[in-house]
Structure 1
Amino acid sequence: MTDTLIEQATKMGLEGPSILEYVEKQQAIERDERARERDAQRKHELELEALKLKQAEIKAVQKQNAEEVKAKTPRLPSFTEGEGIDEYLLRFERFARANHWAENTWASLLSALLTGRALEVYSRLSDDDAKDYKKVKDAILKRYELTEDGFKKKFRSEVPQEGEGPDQYIVRLRGYLNRWIELSDTPKTYEGICDLIIQEQFLDLCPVDLSVHLRERKPKSLEELGKMSGQYLIAHGRGLFEGARPRNPPRTDQVLSGTANVRVVTTSATSRRRCDRCIQNEAEWCGHCFRCGGSNHIARRCWKQGNAARTPPRDEGSS
């Protein structure tokens, strides 16, 4: 190597000390290059070792998780079609928390317990969504039509079940209310709950077409609800009171007053029964007696059946 460098220096026209200086300088450069190569090779080897260690750690964690899943899952019965899916998911979540399962494993653990339509929903999710328990849960509930509106109706209409105690019924109602609030994306604050109740009251009692219009657009606040409503009513040229629906509307029935039929407002609890003629004509009440079918009198004044002491009514025009 030294001879080669001397030969190169001679060809370059160097002489005496200049040749020695050139050789020493080139040798130093070559030493530095070899040192850099050795450092790069060592760094590469260290990176490979670190990668192998990390892969080994991942495999160990996966093996541990698999063993935990295998040990825990059989303790919870599988979901069966016909069982309440919302109640089952609540039971699954309580079981998972009690056993300190990591929440990022809930989706895969749940998948091993699903059957029927719930399993079909899970199998149709993307790989990323299938790992997210919240997305899996929302997709399953939607498949069983347990949406925001569904939980709202359950909260308002569900009655105690056979064998269910007061505390259990209260817990069930609380669950329906919480799911209604969660699915409506309402903040769990006093103001948020107030806004939700006011909005639902407004949507239930405002004109039907306006209610449909608003439900389709899902206003995020009462201010947005008011703005959308105002724009809709202006566009249709009418006021909010036109078509508003009372929650318990009164019923109108025909009753007899003297010789003329007049319409009076009564509640369903006090409304009169109908005669065969009313039923045949699909009328509320035609003014006939439901006992004998005669006109110009009501059942409690009927003289033909059970009221023989009463005198028959006088027809119009009789003297």
Structure 2
Amino acid sequence: MTHIGLLTKFGITDKEREKRQAEREAELQVERERPELKDQRGKAELQFEAKMREIEHSSVMELEQLRHYSITEDSKTHVLSSLKVKVPKLPNFEKKNDNMDSNVVFAFLKGKALDVYSQLPRDDASNYDLLKTALLERFEVTEEGF
């Protein structure tokens, strides 16, 4: 028997043979494309992850900028409030009690000495002798030792 005879004997026609051949070629094509699809999928996943990291990083940076801004604003408020804490009082000036010595001393006071002056009542702060005594007591010195 010939080749065609065998094929017809088993019931295989040319159309069925072409159909099977096409199916095999399609399967082979899918097998060849499968690694490419995996590579494309892997690349897409890597791009997606990179984009997500970029978005996350930009979000973190925005939060840091906002946090820095709020800290800066808080520190400005804190600095301003700390500046308002101690305001030295000016001594009363009366023509009959013209005691300019305490006014002159007041202009040169700083730090702890200014605190001593600020804590004295107005009348005592305008009296040079009382101011001098309070300053000497604060720094624990005597007139002679100073």
Higher relative contact order (CA 8 A, sep 6+): 2
TM range (shorter): 0.3 to 0.5
TM-score by length of 2: 0.46
Q: State the structure with more CA Rg.
A: 2
